[in-house]
Structure 1
């Protein structure tokens, strides 16, 4: 009885940590969207990495896990770094061009893409239920990208779709790299690659900062670091199958923060399509948890 109660408490804490992490990531995106209005996408992406790097190093030092950042496959880290730089720059462009809720609605298609990519790249088996959910999810994408909503041809939509594809490839690569690399290594080299790569790209179009940018840079660094910590703690307390659905609460914060800062309200088409995509993502997560339970070895009673 005590063990069951303790497990329930861990799951409850994990859900709370996940909800707070999603909120902090939304604040981070608000900061990037604000800075992207007058800074280049390269420069904003650089600050995303540079403001987080000190916090990552501080966390590694406090946990005495600096030694765990030693990479086993530098080539894969380099490939992941290039993909991460590309999708983050495209993400910044999307946040600049589209309302926050519209951008999130496109990004929510990532679990659909990851499910499809996991078959040829990782050799995972996807059953009829998840394939059906992916098909329904892409119908939701078409609904929110129809000409009456966002349209297919705008810079924001194209960059959002490309960012989603890039993010999906990066996450597939992370799944594969987890076989040999530590979480500390993956986190450190991700932030380092953003800082160095985007910093070099930003040199050609560097814009001077103003005093008014400093609070937004502070928000960018602090919210990103806190979000990463909360996300780590959430997955330490509860299984991914429980937590993944709560990532979609980001739409609530996108609607609220988008209206507060920019008076943005998405169309009914965007909301309807986002609901279909979210429902598909939740169902895919549900089927994934069932598959993992079925693959667990049977234990003696």
Structure 2
């Protein structure tokens, strides 16, 4: 087979896997949003970890990579675990308080924050193009959080902004930890920390489960596990510079699923702001890909 054609097929498969992974993550959020309607945010966060942990362990056993979970820096794993617990609980509160599409519109600001945090923490160089994209992106955040759309002071908006900040900090930590930790250890200890930490907190506000919760718990665990597998396969088939833009297909799923389950429709302000934020995120990914190509060209020369 022609190498160019073969590479094109790999990229196409990677894009399909990414879109399907984003859809499965959206289903997982639907399950969390439904459960958060009558269970505590601590409980829902605990179930997010507990329902995924068996699948992660089974995947590690099937790949014969269980030995790779051994951590090299327990302190960083602990710090990441604490921040992950906080941002997941805040995410659940956001999903409970806001329409699904509104919550996603706020979460899309994460690449903007990650870009800014990468400068002081990872010592990455950010040029004028990416700084401009970040500025424009934050204007998009202001558009969708104006008083005619969501407002700044509601519980859902505040928790969403804090959750996005927490997620961004975790992603910066993951980038840094990849220098010494394996992907297997990062995945395993992330889910383990959610299970143990959120489980301990859930004991303070445990509410009884019903039989009708079982299908939603199964959806939560299965969709999360499948999403993680598809995401891994996507990045195995295609480079991140190609796949990152397709993460924003989450808004399509949020609109469809939000309307299907709760008849939710975001305002035009939210959609307009989200489009600005998404465009900024896509441009940041584009500039990041250019920067990496330039770095490789310098290293190869």
Q: TM-score, normalised by structure 1?
A: 0.99
The reply on whether 1:204 has 2:210 as its aligned counterpart is no
Is residue 2:70 matched to residue 1:70? Answer: yes
Equivalent positions of 1:199-238 (< 5 A) are 199-238=199-238
Runs of 4+ aligned structure 1 residues displaced above 2 Å come to 297-301
C-alpha separation in 1, matches of 2:51 and 2:135: 39
Instruction: Output the CA distance in 1 between the equivalents of 2:250 and 2:204.
Output: 34
Aligned match of 1:268: 268
CA distance in 1 between partners of 2:143 and 2:4 (Å): 43
- Could you say which residue in structure 1 is the equivalent of 2:184? 184
After the TM superposition, which residues 245-284 of structure 1 pair with which residues of structure 2 at under 5 Å, given as runs? 245-284=245-284
> How big is each residue's C-alpha offset from its partner over 1:239-289, in whole Å with a ceiling of 9 and x where there is no partner?
000000000000000000000000000000000000000000000000000
> How far apart in 2 are the matches of 1:115 and 1:264?
31
Shift of 1:137: 0.1
Distance in 2 between the 1:32 and 1:258 partners? Answer: 13
Deviation at 1:300, TM superposition (A): 7.7
| CA deviation string 1:136-174 (max 9, x = no partner) | 000000000000000000000000000000000000000
Structure 1 stretches lacking a partner, 5+ long:
none
Written as runs of structure 1 = structure 2, the 5 A alignment for 1:108-123 is 108-123=108-123
2:24 paired with 1:29: no
Deviation at 1:2, TM superposition (A): 1.2
- Alpha-carbon distance between aligned partners in 2 of 1:299 and 1:180, rounded to the nearest angstrom: 22
Alpha-carbon distance in 2 for matches of 1:232, 1:17 = 9
Match of 1:14, SS state, is helix
Distance 2:138 2:110 in 1: 11
Q: Please list every run of 5 or more consecutive structure 2 residues that lacks an aligned counterpart in the other structure.
A: none
SS in 2 for 1:124: coil
Pairwise CA distance, 1:299? 8.2
Q: How does 1:41-190 map to 2 (within 5 A)?
A: 41-190=41-190
Alignment partners' CA distance in 1, 2:71 and 2:224: 23
Distance of 1:180 and 1:44 partners within structure 2: 31
CA–CA distance in 2 between the matches of 1:63 and 1:297?
Answer: 34
What's the offset of the Cα at 1:76? 0.2
Provide the secondary structure at the position in 2 that maps to 1:296: helix
Distance in 2 (CA, whole Å) between partners of 1:298 and 1:162 is 38
State the number of aligned residues: 301
What secondary structure is seen at the aligned counterpart in 2 of 1:297? helix
The corresponding residue for 1:4 is 4
The residue that corresponds to 1:294 in the other structure is 294
SS in 1 for 2:245: helix
The 2-side partners of 1:226 and 1:97 are apart by 26
Distance 1:275 1:70, change over 3 A: same
CA drift at 1:297 = 3.4
Q: For residues 189-233 of structure 1, what are the alpha-carbon distances to aligned partners after superposition, in whole Å with 9 as ceiling and x for unaligned? A: 000000000000000110111000000000000000000000000
What TM-score do the two structures reach when normalised by structure 2? 0.99
